[in-house]
Structure formats: C-alpha cells, structure tokens
Structure 1
Amino acid sequence: MVDYDVIIVGAGPGGSIAAKGLVEEGLNVLLLEEHNNIGLPQHCSGWISGCEYTEELIKTIPQNLIIQKVKGWRVWSPKGKKICEFEDFGFGGYFVDRVNFDRELAKQAAKKGAKIKVSSKVADLLIDHNLVKGVTINTKSGPENITADVLIGADGVRSYLSGVAKKSGIAELERKPREFFPAMQIEFVNISDIDPGIIEIFFGFDFDKNFGMAFLSPLEENLALIGFGNYKDYLKIKENHPVMSNRLKSADEIRYLGGMYCSKFGESLRTAVKNNVTLIGDAAGYHGIVPACISAHYASGVIKEAIDLEDFQHLELYDKTRKKSTIRGARLAIDIRALTDEKIENFLQVGGKEATYVMLELISKLKI
C-alpha cells in the first residue's frame, strides 16, 4: 500500500497545476517543496506570455496579482540599433507578482485536496526493480521515506543536474549532455527611458558571454528587471553600452535574482518519461510559465489514465502528446555561442524583424 498515488517534486506553477488537476481526478497527491516558502527564492520576472491558455489562467487568480499588461516587444542589436518593435498581437500576456502567483496556485491545489510539504528536499529516490517506489526527503525532523505509484519531477532547471531527471536516469537518455550556465537579474528603480509594458531584448555578448542577449522586463514606471551573466557584466554594460549606459546612469539596484539556464533554451528533453517517472516544466526542458503549465496538464491527464489502467507504459503517451503539441516549438531564444556580435548585428539588420515575428507568433499560439 503506497502513501500517495502521485508525488510531485517542486511547487512552482507546473507542479501546482499538475497537483490540482490530479486531485480533481480523485487521486491522492503530495506536493513537495524544498524551500521554506513557496515562491521563494524568485528566479524570474513573472512574465506570463500571452496566448489562449494565458487568458484562461489569468481568470483563475486574484486580479491584484497582475502587475502589468504587456503591450509590445522591442529588439536592439549589439551596436545599440533598434531592429524592430511589435505591438501585442496575442503574445504579450502579463507581468504578475511571481512570488504570490506561485503561492496562489499552490493554495488552489491544496484547497482541492493536495497535500503540501515545504522544507522537504528530495535526497534520494526509492527504487526497486527499475521502478521508483517513492522518495526520501530531508526535513527539519530528519529523513523521511514516502511512497507513491507515480513521481512527477517539477523541480526546475536543476533537475537535469541533481534532481529527479538525474536521479531517475532520464537525463542519461539525452543523446548529447546539456550545458548549464549561471545568470542573474537585477531589479532597478529610477531607470530611465523605459516604456511600461514593452519588453526589450538587447543582443550582445557583453550582457552574458554564453547567452548573448538580455531581457529588460519593465514592471512599472522607472522600475525594471534586467538579465546579466554576472555582476561584472552589468558594470561593463553600465559603463559602455550605447543605449543602456544612459538608462542606468541614475538607476539604483534594489534586488538581485539568481538562476541558471540551459544552452538549449526552451528545447525540451528527448524523453521526459522513464517507467513511472514523468518530468514537466523546466525539468523537461520547457522554459517559461505557460509551457510549464501546459506540460503539467498533459502529464496529469496521462498519469490519471495510467493509474486507472495500472499500466505505467501508458505514461509514454505523455511524450507523444507533448511532441505533437504547440509547446514543442515554444522557444524564446537559441544557442548563439558560435556567433560573434558582428555576425549577430549583420543577421539582425537583414532578418531580425522577420525572425522576431515568427517567434512571437509561435508564443501567441500556445494552447492545450
């Protein structure tokens, strides 16, 4: 007799959406969060990209969690030339209070019947005859073993390196190992010349030697988050960048957000299923709140069927479903490390506007 039908590791948006969906199907679900507080530490700006799914999701949360409606998208070249600007045609979405957004989704899952444990880091998986029988968690009172029929890894980008993807062996199924790089975001107040609601993309390896670009996320008037590889990159940009140096001249740093990203930015894993383990969200290679939530919907539906059928091979349907879905091409960036700023400049001048439109169009069409 197992303790739960499903254990979900990670109480971010994907984990909570999956938990809610599964308990609504009558399953007994445990949602584990390694940190003391759901939503913390915050790793991203809280942008929920716009699409049909987003409009339905936004209706389910308190409206005071919405910080800003995204109205457009602007792209800059490494030399500081404006390449293009698009008004929202469906891709825009919203900036939300990310910390309380995560907590709201977890509360919704709990109110439906999911059990939640915070301060519960998964130390190991309980494996018997190639099946994961449960997890060992480290809690404030010591190690604890918990069993379940199915395990969902919703434990973010680090899953591949040390989490469920790694411990279950799913990471080993990739043809080529994935590379990961640290990054940071700085929240600035008194930053000048930003347009609330307009997301800006700045290309250039001075922002981040691996990523080759930076997102400026305007949260309100004179308040924005900007991504960098590290603090030294920020200082270089503040001193020398043709556009950002003026904007940052009088800006004050009020918050630092840390994180990590994969060089295959938003490119999902070849397989996200192994026996009775399933990965969703960043753990499966899907970057962004909307792809994470949509992958959670697909996974929870297939898991319910697999448990009813008492057939874990049925979980392979999740891989087939997600690869045929709209999230298969939902990528906000690509690996450009083989290029130089000069080559990027030339490409953007010739085809930057068209490439940006195609990307935004794919984002706007995400749906279940």
Structure 2
Amino acid sequence: MEMSGEAMVAVKKPQDHPQMETSKIGVLLVNLGTPDGTDKTSMRRYLREFLSDKRVIEWPRAIWLPVLYGIVLNTRPKKSGALYDKIWNRERNESPLRTYTRAQGEKLAVTLAEYPQVVVDWGMRYGQPSIEQALERLDKAGCKRILMFPLYPQYSATTTATVNDKFFEALIKMRYMPATRTVPSYQDEAVYIDALAISIEKHYATLDFEPELLIASYHGIPQSYFKRGDPYPCHCWETTRLLRERLGWAEDKLITCFQSRFGPEEWMQPYTDKTLEKLAKDGVKSVAVFNPGFVSDCLETLEEIAGEGEEIFHKHGGVNFTHVPCLNDSDEGMQVIEQLVRRELQGWV
C-alpha cells in the first residue's frame, strides 16, 4: 500500500545515529557522609540533611521538625563542629571519612584494573560528593550497569536502606536508567570476620599490655526501631559471635555494646560509655575497644571512642586503654571490599 507524501515519516538508518559508547560498568562505594568543614554553617547544612532523613529520625514530622529547626540546628552545629575539629584531616582539609572513602575507591580501581570496562567511583549519603553527583559522573563515563555498595557491614534501615533510597531517587531523574545491583549486608561473611580478627591480632601485637577484654562497640539505634523489625542488633550480635569463635575467645573476653545514642528514647543496650565506666569501677585495668560496624574511622570512632571513651575509663580508675582502628583502606579492609564487589559483579564481567 502506498502512502501519501504527507503521511510518510522519514526513518533514520542506523548509520545516521551517533555511535554509542561501549557500555561500561560502574562500581559506586557509598558511606554515610561528611560536612564540608567544621564551621557552623557547614555543620548546620550537614546536620539538617542528616537529621531530616525520615529513616534516621522516625518521629512524626509535626513533632520532630519544630525540635530540629527550633533547638537542634541552633545548638548542635557549634558543638559538633568543635568535635570534628579534633579529628579533622588538615592536610586535605576534610574529614577522615572522606579521606578513607576516597582511598578505598582509588585502591579498588587498581585491583579491578584487569577489567577495563569497570569504572569505580564513590559518594556520600549526606554531604559531598553526593550519590547523585557520582551517578552523573558514571553516566558520563558510559556506565549502563552500576553496582552500588553501601559501606555498612550490618544492615539497618537507618543506614543501608536510606542509601538505597537516595540511590534510586537519583536514578529516577535519569533518562537512560542503568541496570543496577546493590551489595547486601555482610555481617557474617568469612572474609569480613577474618579481616576483623587479623586487624585485632596485629594491633594487640603492638601493645605493651594485655587487654582483659575487648568491647565491640556498634553505633546504636533506638529500641523502638528494633521492635518494629530492624535486624541491625541481630546482625551486630552475629558479627561478635562469629568473631569470638574465629579468635577462640571466651564469651566474657569479647562483648557487644552500643554507642552514639541521641534524644530521649531508650537505645539498644548495653551502652559503651556506661560499660567503660562500670568496668573501671569494678577494677578492670586494661581494655580495648573497636568498631566493627564502621568501615572507616570517623567522628564516632576517633572522637567518641578513642577520645571520650578513654577519658571515661581513666576517670573511673582504668589504667590501660586502646582503640583498635577500623579496617579503613588497610590490606585486610580492601580485601573485604574487593571480594564482595567481585562476587556481585559476576555475570557482568
């Protein structure tokens, strides 16, 4: 059947279309976030984004927002800025979390260099560089498949889920949306447990005293979150149990505690600070603390534990205190990230 000239539509031949780049694969590492500076303005901007997250603070907005804008954001930025200033990486003028996350991304890119189609990038859930900015870079690099890795060993709606939220929110804005995968929590992965054990053994070898016990201090969540189904505390207990078995230690030599509580609610217990105080009062003279729920050292590990935690222990009679660094970009830490990424890339590379 013939068509009139008015009805005919010119159809471009394949050679008329611009040549598309060979599809690449992006690997996106994502951690919690960081302020851009320790000044009040930077801290307020960061805390506003963080504490406005409905996954982090589950109170009704009508109750929480007046508290956030009327009290918290007028008082906490200055205090938090002073704490960040104690641990700030002055050479790079950034927080340690940003320094370590960048290093993890750079080292992962080197270990995956055998795959020229893989592009590694990194971003933050709160602050800069944002997840959206990282996705834009990967898109410009021609990545049509993306593996996103929330850098949290234990799953929580307050961490892993909100990173996933922001990741998919950013994808919604893309015209050509890539195929995606996300790395699941890895609280019981052998490579992770081994890395923790090795890091502890290496650190203990540098000490001139023998810790009587080791506290595994995880970031806490309100008990109400756990009661509503958040599996995070169970994941924490599982990590501690497996690590205890890996080290061959008795139950009282490696214990689980929770830190960083905020607000009037009851949080998961026992609390790390209260435990350090009680241990010292009970006559324990030497302790070690580490943070298996944190992939990289940050404010909560360097200031709250290595700083405040040591002060609490000494104040109440303790003598020897040591903080075991996070895995950071150590060989053991990078082995965890690399092995999980390689596993999740199967079928794509």
Whether TM exceeds 0.5 here: the answer is no
TM-score normalised to structure 2 length? 0.24
Structure with higher RCO (Cα < 8 A, 6+ apart): 1
More strand by share: 1
TM-score normalised to structure 1 length? 0.23
More helix by share: 2
